[in-house]
Chain A
């Protein structure tokens, strides 16, 4: 790993990161950059693919994740990966999701340069778009990183409050906000050969003395781990089929959560198919059996079925919860389920691209004893 420092001019964090990204794009070594950027008339920051450095006005700090960026990268690379490198700026959860998609053969990392950014969390898209305060959401986050105020915390999405790991792993280049005063300096780390090569000719200063970054990263990870452990302890209560049914009571079976999920990639979802359709007499028989029958009846089946399909790869980005029109706090069920299921299979989604997804791995000892365990 090489660590360098990007000097911030006049406390303008975004100006300086954009300057850095423009230099990166003009270097000729990458042909395009995927960055979070608001385009005119849009209030929200979307992933924008930029080929002309002059058009780059990114906001890599903007605390909003309207769509899964991993899905966007999958769209770009799935049919045919780019012939020359392109850089993609991603938060840690989206890098994890992208790595899962690569394992599931839904995306390629060929000629993809992963540029990870430290993520202090994101706001729900509606909060971000109609932000009630004078300061911009980005400034709220800068203040949170520099520890001036902690006002941003109240707006964070619940998934972000208990984020698994806000520091990107597996990135080629990391833009670090922790362990430095980002209004003066931003840490730029290269974690791979291509990352080192890209940083070589850019106007960066050499590494700082000391291990402030390492310490800050450890601190923030410990803090998040603690919050997550507390959350898991609190949410143990949703057990028993009645409680689960009650939890999903507001689910109208719209499948928005599936649409937003970076892991749900199937072209044709089982729950959109006619597999669970039935003849009229069966519905009437169900009504007759108990005297009544609630419709639509498939919401719980969809939720539990979807959970079965994707939970081992769940990166806890919380986009399902953001997409829910009826604000079901899905993470309260999905985070504990993911934690327990992944522990059972000793699997860490997004951690290692060479690790295979559990559904295609078999160990010899599993074959001895089947059934009850």
Chain B
């Protein structure tokens, strides 16, 4: 009997908004899949595209980067920069023939627990459909 594929999702969550949003989802007892492992970063701008590449290489199936809404960045423009960096990364992944859907950037504020839960639910479902990440070295 084959078990259903459970994707490994890594989330880089901004300390000031998305992490609090994830907290709110938890304290409000909203349900979302447990596939997400989160890393709190001080700003989504701290996420270098290389971290995403390294995560994909080390065996995660999808990477979610969540930051503040436009205009809300604690450091003025970190979220804008990440938005563009991820856009470039996805473009290059596409060039290299790796599914760009495995990387996702979203704006989640501290009050958007519901949005956070639904993004994760949707992302996990998408990764389940896409199947295991082909470029991993860390999983069997």
Contacts and interface: CB of A to CB of B under 8 A. Distances in A.
B98 A371 contact: no
B53 A304 contact: yes
A290 B48 contact: no
A79 interface: no
B105 A370 contact: yes
A263 B46 CA distance: 21
B49 A308 contact: yes
Interface string A268-312: 001100011000000001100110010001001100110111011
B137 A297 contact: yes
A111 B84 CA distance: 34
Given A239-B97, A341-B88, A366-B83, A371 B104 contact: yes
Interface in A319-373: 336-337, 340-341, 344-345, 358-362, 366-367, 370-373
Contacts of B105: 370-371
Contacts of B138: 285-286, 289
Given A305-B53, A344-B87, A358-B84, A372 B101 contact: yes
Given A308-B49, A362-B80, A244 B92 contact: no
Interface string B108-130: 00000000000000000000000
B131 interface: no
Given A359-B81, A371-B106, A241 B135 contact: yes
Contact of A367 (B54, B70, B104): B70
A243 B106 contact: no
A311 B96 contact: no
Nearest to B81: A359
B91 A301 contact: no
Nearest to B67: A370
B88 A312 contact: yes
A240 interface: yes
B95 interface: yes
Contacts of B70: 362, 367
B92 A304 contact: yes
A358 B91 CA distance: 14
Interface in B14-59: 48-51, 53-54, 57
A88 to B, nearest CB: 31
B3 interface: no
B48 A270 contact: yes
B138 to A, nearest CB: 6
A241 B50 contact: no
Contacts of A360: 77, 81
A308 B137 contact: no
Contacts of A367: 70, 83
Contact of B50 (A240, A243, A305, A366): A305
Given A239-B95, A243-B97, A345 B88 contact: yes
Nearest to B101: A372
4 residue pairs, one from A and one from B, having the closest CB atoms: A305-B50, A240-B97, A308-B49, A239-B97
Given A276-B54, A341-B95, A371-B104, 15 more contacts: A241-B96, A275-B51, A285-B138, A289-B140, A293-B137, A305-B48, A305-B53, A309-B49, A312-B88, A337-B95, A341-B91, A367-B70, A367-B83, A371-B106, A372-B101
